[in-house]
Structure 1
Amino acid sequence: QAVSGTQGPDALFLFGGLLTDEWRSGDTFIQRNTMDQRIWDPTNTFNAGPFRNLNRVRTQALLAIDGLRAYQPDSVATIARMFDFLAYTQVLLGEHYCNGIPLSGVSGTEVVFGEPISNDSLFTLGIANADSALAIAGSDTASPRVKAARFAMVIKGRALVDRADFTAAAAAVATVPDTFRYDVTHSLNVNDNQMWALNASARRYTMGDVEGKNGLPYVTANDPRIPRRIGTSLKDDGIFDSAFPILVIREGIWGRTSAVTIASGIEARLIAAEERLRAGDYATWISIINTLRTTTTLYPPIQSGFTRGPALTALTDPGTTPDTAARTNLMFYERAFWLFSTGHRLGDMRRLLRQYEHPDSIVYPTGAWFKGGPYGDAIQMVLPVEELNNTNFHGCADRKP
C-alpha cells in the first residue's frame, strides 16, 4: 500500500512521480494538478497519505521486531526482513521529503511524538538498520535469509549513495546478483497495482515525455525498458480531464495484479557504475552500463497489447565534450529508464542538485505547465500540515536538496 497500492491519497511511487518528469496529471483533482505543477503546498490534502503509509510501515516493522523477538525468536529471516522494511522506509522518507522529518512512534498505547531530523540523518538510520538486517540474516544459505540479506545490501548501497559515500556503496552491493529482485505484490483480494489503476485504467495519470523541457523522453525514446501505448480515440483514450483533448499514454510494465520491484540487482549494478564514474574509471563505468543494456533478460515484463522498443545496443563513452556533464547525464538517464516509477527518480533529481551542483532549472520540469500557468519551485515533497499536531514539529526545517 505504501509504495504502489493506494489512491486518493495516492501511493508514493505515483504521487512522488508527479513532482518529477515520470508522470503528468490527467486528472481534475487539484491535489494531483498542483503536485504535477510543482506547487509547494503543505495544505494539499493528498500529502498526508503517502507520508502516513510510510510511517505505518516503519512503526509496524518496529512493533513486529519486538513481537517476533519475544514470541518467535527463531524467525531469523522474518526479523531481518522487518529491519529491511524499517531501513527502506527511512531511506524513502529521506529521499522524498524536506529536511526536518519527525519520526513519531508508539509506546504501549501512547503516541510518542518524534523530533524533526534531517534527510542525512534518515539515511544514516537506514544504513544502521540495513546493517542490523545483515547481521541477523548472517551467512546462512537458506533462501529467505539470503533474500533478506540481499535486500538489505541494496538498501544500504542506496543510502550510501544518498550520502555520497560511493566507495562504500559499491562495496555494499558487490555480491548482489544481477537477477536479484525484491517485489511487493498485488492481488484482486487485497489491492490493485495503482500504476495500472490510475494510469492504464482510470487515465488520471499519464506518462511524462520531455515534460517541461527538461524531462526525459520516456515515450519518444522508444526504449524497451518502458513498454507503452498511446491511445487513438479521445472518447476512449483521452485523459480523465476532458477539458484538455490529450490522449493518455499508458505504461505497459504493470497490469492490475503485477508485482513491483523495489530493490534489484540492476540497481546494485547502477550503484557500482556510478562509483566507477565518480572514481574516473570511465572504461569500467561504460562497460557496466552496456552489460545491463545488452542483457535483454533483465528488461521488465510487457503487458499484452503494448509496444516495446528494439533491444538496446552498447553505447560509447560520451566523454567530456561538448557537454562537460555528458557522462553524468547518461548515468542518470540510465537510472531513470531502468528504475522508472519505483520511487528513485525524485531522490536522483535532488542528488543532481546536491552532489553534482546542477541548477534545478536544468533538472526539473520548468516553463509553462500544460494546463496553464508556470511550473512552481518545489524540488521535494512537503511534509503534511497534519504533522503540526506534533508539538515538536513546526514545518520543514528547510527546502535544501
Structure 2
Amino acid sequence: MTRAIGRARGARLAGGLVSVLVLIVVAGCSGLVDVDDSAIILPSEIDAAGPAAVPSIIFGMVGSYHEITDDITLITALLTDEMISASTFPDRLQVDDRKIPPNNLELSGLYSGIHHARFQADTIVSQFQRKLTGPAFKDVVDELSEGIALGQLIGGYSRIWLSELYCWSILTGMASEQAPLLPDTRMQQAVTFLQQAEARAATIGAEDIRLAAIVGQARAQLWLRNYAQASALAAQVPRSFAYDAEYSNNDHAQYNEMYVFTWGDTQPIHWTVGDGTDALRGSERWEHLTQFKGLNLLLDRPAGKSSQSGTEVVLQTQYSRAETSILMASGMEATLIRAEAAVRSGQAQVARDLLNGLRADYSLRATIRWGVPPPTAQNALQPIQLSGNVQANVKRVADERARELWLTGDRLTTSRRLRLDPTVSINLFPPVKTVLGGGDDIALPITQDELDRNPNVSRACPTGQGAGSWR
C-alpha cells in the first residue's frame, strides 16, 4: 500500500487566487507567520472563490509541507553524519560543524517553512470545519472532510518536527502561544492532532491518512519513551504501507532537492557523504559507509564534481531522479518502532525476527522503489543475532534505522533521542570537529528572526541548556 499526497508543490490556485499558496485567517500576527498579503487567503476570498477553490487550497497546504521535507532532509543530514557540506556557504558549514548561531540564514527558511506549513494546516482545518455545514459548499463535503483530515495530519507532523529538531518552539497566529514549549510538551500536542486525524480519516474511509496518523503517533510515543504504547500503535500498520512526499520533474523548483544538491545535474554538488578523507570537513566519515557501498547505495565519483574544490564526491543513489519521493510514514518505520520497543522490554528474539524480516528483502525494495542495483551475493544483508545487552541491541536497531530511514530526517531524531536517553549510552553524532572550531550541537535553535519579532520569546534555547544537551 503506497500513498502519495497529490503533489502540488508550487501549485497555484485558479481564477482570482492565482498567486496564493498560504491560507491564513488572522490579523496582527507576531513572529514568522507574518507573510506578505499576496500569500494570504481571507475568509471572504474563500467565499468569493467558492467550492471550486477547495482542491487547490488543499494542494497548496500539501505542497507547503512537502517543501519543508526537502529542507529537513538536507539540514539534518549535515548536522548528523549522513552528509558533509561540499560547498563553501558559511551557513551550511556552521550546521556541518555543529556550531549553529540563531542568525544562521540556512535555518531561517526551514524554521519559517515549518511554521507556515503548520499554520496553514491548522487554519484550513478551522475554516473547512466551518464550511462543512455551509449550503454553498454542500457539493464538496467529501473534499472538505479529506482536507480536514490532511490538515490535522500535517498539523501533527509539523509539531513532531518542531519537537525533534528544536531545543524548544513557540507558535504564533492560529493556536498562538505566550511562551515556548519544550520538545516533550510539543510532542504531546502532536499526538492530539494525529489522534484527531486518525479519527477523521476513519470516518471518511481515508485509510492511508489514518495509517500515516498512527505511524506518527507511534513515532511520538517512542520519543516520549512510552515504548509499549508506541509498539501497540505500530503493530496496527502493515509493513507494506508507505506514505510519500511526492516530487515532480516538471520544473527545477519541484525537484527533490537532495537529488539536486548531490547529483550535480542542474548545478554543482553541494552535499556529499563523508568518507573520512576531507580535512576541510574534519575528516568526517559516515558510520555505515562500507555497508552502503556494498549495497550500491553509495558510489564514488571522479574528483572535481563538487562545489568545494578538493572535496571528493561519494554519491547517494537513493534519490537518483528529480521526481524521487521521500517517505513521510511507512510500515518499515512502524516495524523498527516495534523492534526497539521489544528490545527495551527484554524481547530480543522478537526484535531479531522483525529486523531480519526487513533485512531479507531490503535490496529488493531498494531496487523497486529507487532503482538501486542489487548487491552481489557477498554484499547482501545477512540475518543478525541480538545479544542479551539492551544497550547493544538498541544500537543495532539504530543501525537498521540508519539504512531503512536514510535521508528522511530520522537520523537526527534517533541520534538526539538516544543521546538524551539516560538508560543507554549511545552517541551517534560525528565527533566534534575541534580542528575547525566546531561544536556539539544536537538540535536547532529558534532563529534570530523569531527572537527579533516575537516578544514572547527572548532566548534561542532554554536557560542553562548547552548545545550538547538541548531538550
- Aligned mate of 1:270, from 336, 340, 344: 336
- In structure 2, what is the equivalent of residue 332 of structure 1? 398
- Aligned mate of 1:246, from 300, 311, 315: 311
Distance 2:294 2:191 in 1: 33
- In structure 2, what is the equivalent of residue 390 of structure 1? 454
* Larger helix share, 1 or 2: 2
Higher relative contact order (CA 8 A, sep 6+): 1
Listed one character per residue, the Cα deviations across residues 136-161 of structure 1 (whole Å, up to 9, x for unaligned) are: 12266x4xx10010000000000000
- Aligned mate of 2:170, from 74, 94, 102: 102
- In structure 1, what is the equivalent of residue 183 of structure 2? 119
| Contact 2:273–2:286 under 8 Å retained in 1 | no
Among the aligned pairs, what percent are the same residue?
25
Does 1:298 find its partner at 2:365? yes
- In structure 2, what is the equivalent of residue 221 of structure 1? 291
Deviation at 1:303, TM superposition (A): 5.6
Deviation at 1:115, TM superposition (A): 2.4
- Aligned mate of 1:31, from 91, 108, 117: 91
- In structure 1, what is the equivalent of residue 326 of structure 2? 260
Listed one character per residue, the Cα deviations across residues 2-25 of structure 1 (whole Å, up to 9, x for unaligned) are: 677479xx7111112211011100
Trace 1:30-179 onto structure 2 (pairs within 5 A): 30-72=90-132, 73-74=141-142, 75-99=144-168, 101-106=169-174, 114-138=178-202, 142=205, 145-179=206-240
Change (3 A) 1:136 1:4: closer
| Contact 1:186–1:257 under 8 Å retained in 2 | yes
Distance 1:265 1:348 in 2: 17
RMSD of Structure 2 on Structure 1 (CA): 2.7
Higher Cα Rg: structure 1 or 2? 2
Change (3 A) 1:5 1:57: closer
Does 1:282 find its partner at 2:348? yes
Name the aligned partner's letter for residue 258 of structure 2.
Answer: M
Listed one character per residue, the Cα deviations across residues 241-297 of structure 1 (whole Å, up to 9, x for unaligned) are: 11xx23211111112111111110000000111110010011101110101110244
Distance 1:12 1:151 in 2: 18
Deviation at 1:123, TM superposition (A): 0.6
Deviation at 1:78, TM superposition (A): 2.8
Q: Structure 2: state its 5+ residue gaps.
A: 1-62, 133-140
Distance 1:251 1:214 in 2: 16
Change (3 A) 1:36 1:301: farther
Q: Secondary structure at the match of 2:237?
A: coil
Listed one character per residue, the Cα deviations across residues 318-371 of structure 1 (whole Å, up to 9, x for unaligned) are: 443xxx7321211111111110110111111111122255568x43211446xx
Distance 2:160 2:193 in 1: 10
Q: Structure 1: state its 5+ residue gaps.
A: none
Change (3 A) 1:226 1:266: farther
Does 1:379 find its partner at 2:442? yes
Moved more, 183-192 or 116-125: 183-192
Change (3 A) 1:177 1:23: same
Deviation at 1:382, TM superposition (A): 1.5
Change (3 A) 1:128 1:197: same
| Contact 2:297–2:372 under 8 Å retained in 1 | no
Deviation at 1:88, TM superposition (A): 0.4
The number of equivalent residue pairs is 380
Does 1:181 find its partner at 2:242? yes
Listed one character per residue, the Cα deviations across residues 200-253 of structure 1 (whole Å, up to 9, x for unaligned) are: 123100023579789653331136767122112x23x3x2111xx232111111
Q: Secondary structure at the match of 2:291?
A: coil
Change (3 A) 1:65 1:14: same
Distance 2:405 2:64 in 1: 17
Q: Secondary structure at the match of 1:250?
A: strand
TM-score, normalised to structure 1, is 0.87
TM-score, normalised to structure 2, is 0.74
Distance 1:37 1:48 in 2: 18
- In structure 1, what is the equivalent of residue 74 of structure 2? 14
| Contact 2:184–2:224 under 8 Å retained in 1 | yes
Trace 1:351-390 onto structure 2 (pairs within 5 A): 351-357=417-423, 362-368=427-433, 372-388=435-451, 389-390=453-454
Change (3 A) 1:114 1:228: farther
| Contact 1:225–1:300 under 8 Å retained in 2 | no
